Each structure stands twice: as C-alpha cells, then as structure tokens.
Structure 1
Amino acid sequence: MDITGSAALVTGAASGLGAATAAALAGRCRTVYGLDVPRAVTAAEQPPDGVTLLPADVTDETQVRRALAAAGADGAPLRLAVNCAGIAPSARILGRQGPHDLGLFRRALEVNLLGTFNVLRLAAGLMARQQPDAGGQRGVVVNTASIAAFEGQVGQVAYAASKAGVAGMTLAAARDLAQHGIRVVTIAPGLVDTPMMAGFGDEVRAGLAASVPFPQRLAEPAEFARLVVMIAAHDYLNGETIRMDGALRMAPR
C-alpha cells in the first residue's frame, strides 16, 4: 500500500517507539497525528515537521474519536494507524506486600489491550468509509505486543497478559476487517533502547544487550519504525505477529 499523501495516526507518539514511528512517517505521509496523554504531550520535544501531537488517552473513546475527527477533516485518507501507547508495570503475583494489586493488573489491561483495541476499532471505522486503492486496500493497523507475550518473566504477569491479548486478537481482527480491505499486523519487540530502558544503569543495559544472540545490542526505536513502514508497503503481510528481537528468548528472570 502506498501511504504517500495519506494521513497516519500513531499512539504513544510523544516518546520512544511512537515518536520514532511518527518521525519516520512524517517524510512519507502528508500528515501524521501523534496521540499521547496530555502530560506527555506537554513534556515532549518539538515534533518534526508533518507531525501534530494531540492529547488523548487511548482508553477514552471520546478523546480518540476527537483525534480521529481531526485526522478525517484533514482531507487526506487515513491509511495507517500504529498503536505504540503502553505501560510496563512490574509486580509478582505474591510479593512482599502480599498478592498482586488488582488495580495495577486492571490498568495494564486497560492501557495495553483495551486501549489498543479502542484505537483499532475506531480507526478501522474511519478507514472503512474511504475509497480503496487500486488493490482494494483501505488501510492497515499495526499494533505493538512484546516478546513478553510469549516469554513473560518474573514480575511481568500483568504486562505479559496484556501483550498476549494484543498478539491473540491479531488474526481475528485481520479476518474481521478483511472484507473492508483493512490489514492488521502486530510487532512484538524485544529489548529496545527507549527512554524506559534509559532508567537502567550502564551495567544492566550491557548485560541485557549481551543476552541477545545477534546483533548483540539493544534495538533502536528507528528499527521498529522501519518495520512499520515495511509492513505498510507489504500488501501480503496480514494477521501476523512479527518478532523483532535478534533471536532473543527471554529467561525466567
């Protein structure tokens, strides 16, 4: 699918994977709308030309609809939606303070799974009303899971469950939306050098990088962004979860 001259929507666009993806798409799409929570938008650096940051909570239907209305009013068809917004809580089922906090588990599901589904369904609703391209395509939605969906580590039960949900709905969503000419693909990143990872010390980061078979380093957010661009261009990729992990399989801890 050719995304030249189209509009794109990227969630979690104020930093990390979302910011890198929005920047990569800015040179290809006519307009990129980046969604993030208000505090993140306020703290974000000036986005590159072609990227408009909008405050929106992905779990809030009204806020996402408002952002999509802005994209729809742009005049360019929305051909691509990328879900990067997410949180990564850490807690064991039984910890020193007792059983896992239910609210923390619920929040991980709300942001990572429900938020992804909310944007998926609403973006697909807008795409389905557009004219298809010569190949019958109206758009593509790229979601973000994690290799934790398959090899959740100690303390990752909430995160792993939420990301497994994202991976699990990929094929069903692709089949649901096939009749509308909309593809759905998920990326499951491994260890990526995001601001979240920057909180670890150099020694910890070096140890994590050494655990990757090859290339033996952390992935760059720009590599995630390049994969998004490739998925958009590759018409036969659909209903699949693609690992981007350097052949890493996570140990229990």
Structure 2
Amino acid sequence: MHLSGHAAIVTGGASGLGAATAAALLKAGAKVTLLDLNETTLAAQAKTLGCHAEVCNVADEASTARAIESAEQRNGVARVIVNCAGIGRPGKAVGRDGPLSLAEFSRIVNVNLVGTFNIIRLAAARLQNAAALEGGERGVIVNTASIAAFDGQIGQPAYSASKAGVVGMTLPLAREFARVGIRVVTIAPGVFETPMLGGELNEQQQTALTSSIPFPNRLGRPPEFAQLVISIAENPFLNGETIRLDGAQRMPPK
C-alpha cells in the first residue's frame, strides 16, 4: 500500500513506539490520528508532530468508538491501524505480599489484549466498507506484542499472557479479514528505549537486559520499530505473521 494521502490511527501515540511510528507515517505522507489516554502528553506530542489527536481509553468501547469516529471525520477512513497502546507492571503470581490480585492481572490483560481487539473490531468494521485499493487491498492492521509472549520471565505472567493473546489472534483475524482485503500483522519487539521501560527498570536492570542482546548489543530504538511498521504497510504479501524485532535476544528466566 502506498501510504501517501491515506489515513492512519496509532494507539499509544503519545510516546515511545507509538510516537515514533506516527512520525514515520507522517513522513511517508499519511494523515495520522494519535490515540492515547494521557491527555497532557498526547496534546504535546500532537503539537510536536503536527497531527490530529483524540483522548481514548482503548479498553472502553464508547471511548474508542468516539475516537475512531472523530478520526474518520477528520482524515477519512483509517487504512492503517497501528496498536501500540499497552501497559506492563512486574508481578509474581505469588509474591512477598501473597497472590497477585485478580484486579491487577485483569487490568493488564484488559488494556493489552482486550484493548487491542477493541480497536481492531471497531476499525475493521468501518474499513471493510471502504473502496478497495490496488490488488484488492483495503488496509492493514499492525499490532504490538512482545518477546515476552514467547520468552516470558518470572514476574511477567499477566504481561506475557496479554501479549501471547495478541500473537494468538493474529492469524485467525488475518484469515477472517482476507475476504475484504485487510491484512493483520503483529510485531513482537524486544527491549526498546521507551518511557515504559524506564519506568519499570532501573539502570542496572536495563544494563543486564542489554547484555543478553547478541547484536546489535544495545536497546532497540523506537524509529527501528517504526521502520518495520512502514515495511509491513508497504508489502502486500506480509499477512497473518508475528515478526520478532529483538536483535536475536532470548530472554532468560529472570
């Protein structure tokens, strides 16, 4: 798909991988709407990038429906949907204070998995009625999982489960939407330089993680994630797949 002139939605667009992806899409000529729950950061990022933004809780049906409707009124039906919204907080199933609360487990799964599915179903319902482009394609949905879906560490049961769910629904969704020319691809990033990582791990922990990345021996950079999103959007034969973007890293147990 040629991105120039087409509308795109990026969730989690106020920072990190989402902000970098939005910048890359704008550079390619797309008309981007950022969705994020953090109103202050979102407004600042939209001003920096010069694009539209909508406050949105991806796990809330009404909030998401309003945001997608507003984005479509502004830029037209979204041909590219990139799901970067996510949260992650370490927590063992049984820690020093006892069992992990079901509320905390559900909170992480609700944002990372249910929120991703919520965006997909509402955006695809509109996209399937758009005019077909070259080759019968209507658009592409790019999800963000994590290598934790495959190499989950101690303390990541909720996060790993939520991201494994994103991986698990990629192929069935791609098969379902094939009849209307909508592709679904998931990226499973390794350890990237993002605000979420900085908020979870201290410098010593980040250094330890970096040491387990074979090459390049450093943290991933958000523009590298964004570059893969652009490649996926522009390559019509990429569909139904989860792509690891991790410098050949395999996470240790802890």
Deviations 1:189-208 (A, max 9, x none): 00001012234443332222
Q: What's the counterpart of residue 187 of structure 1?
A: 187
| 8 A Cα contact 1:37 1:56, kept in partner | yes
Superposition deviation, residue 110 in structure 1: 0.5
> Structure 2 unaligned runs (5+)?
none
| 8 A Cα contact 1:170 1:239, kept in partner | yes
Deviations 1:128-184 (A, max 9, x none): 111011210001000000000011100000000000000000000000100010000
Q: What's the counterpart of residue 36 of structure 1?
A: 36
Q: What's the counterpart of residue 78 of structure 1?
A: 78
How does 1:54-93 map onto structure 2 within 5 Å? 54-74=54-74, 76-93=76-93
Q: Distance in 1 between matches of 2:105 and 2:40?
A: 22
Q: Which amino acid aligns with 1:212?
A: I
Q: What's the counterpart of residue 246 of structure 2?
A: 245
Q: Which amino acid aligns with 2:190?
A: G
Distance change >3 Å, CA 75–CA 196, structure 1 → 2: closer
Deviations 1:75-113 (A, max 9, x none): 544210000000002111111111111100001110000
Q: What's the counterpart of residue 136 of structure 2?
A: 136
Q: Structure 1 stretch 20-29 or stretch 37-46: which is displaced more?
A: 37-46
Q: Secondary structure of 2:135's partner? A: coil
Q: What's the counterpart of residue 207 of structure 1?
A: 208
Q: Structure 1 stretch 26-35 or stretch 238-247: which is displaced more?
A: 26-35
Give the TM-score of the pair, scaled to structure 1.
0.95
Q: Which amino acid aligns with 2:62?
A: T
How does 1:99-248 map onto structure 2 within 5 Å? 99-199=99-199, 200-248=201-249
Superposition deviation, residue 42 in structure 1: 5.5
| 8 A Cα contact 1:41 1:53, kept in partner | no
Q: Which amino acid aligns with 1:206?
A: T
| 8 A Cα contact 2:21 2:229, kept in partner | yes
Q: Secondary structure of 1:235's partner? A: coil
| 8 A Cα contact 1:9 1:80, kept in partner | yes
Q: Which amino acid aligns with 1:2?
A: H
Q: Secondary structure of 1:162's partner? A: helix
> Structure 1 unaligned runs (5+)?
none
Q: Distance in 1 between matches of 2:245 and 2:233?
A: 16
Q: Distance in 2 between matches of 1:165 and 1:24?
A: 27
Superposition deviation, residue 69 in structure 1: 1.2
Q: Aligned residue pairs: how many?
A: 253
Q: Distance in 1 between matches of 2:72 and 2:39?
A: 25
RMSD: 1.5
Superposition deviation, residue 38 in structure 1: 4.0
Deviations 1:205-236 (A, max 9, x none): 22221210111000001100110000000100
Give the TM-score of the pair, scaled to structure 2.
0.95
Distance change >3 Å, CA 188–CA 47, structure 1 → 2: farther
Q: Secondary structure of 1:141's partner? A: strand
Q: Structure 1 stretch 137-146 or stretch 60-69: which is displaced more?
A: 60-69
Q: Distance in 2 between matches of 1:146 and 1:125?
A: 26
Distance change >3 Å, CA 76–CA 50, structure 1 → 2: farther
Q: Which amino acid aligns with 1:99?
A: P
Superposition deviation, residue 46 in structure 1: 5.0
Superposition deviation, residue 41 in structure 1: 3.9
Q: Structure 1 stretch 66-75 or stretch 225-234: which is displaced more?
A: 66-75
| 8 A Cα contact 1:31 1:50, kept in partner | no
Superposition deviation, residue 67 in structure 1: 1.5
Q: Structure 1 stretch 4-13 or stretch 206-215: which is displaced more?
A: 206-215
Q: Structure 1 stretch 86-95 or stretch 25-34: which is displaced more?
A: 25-34
Q: Secondary structure of 2:80's partner? A: strand
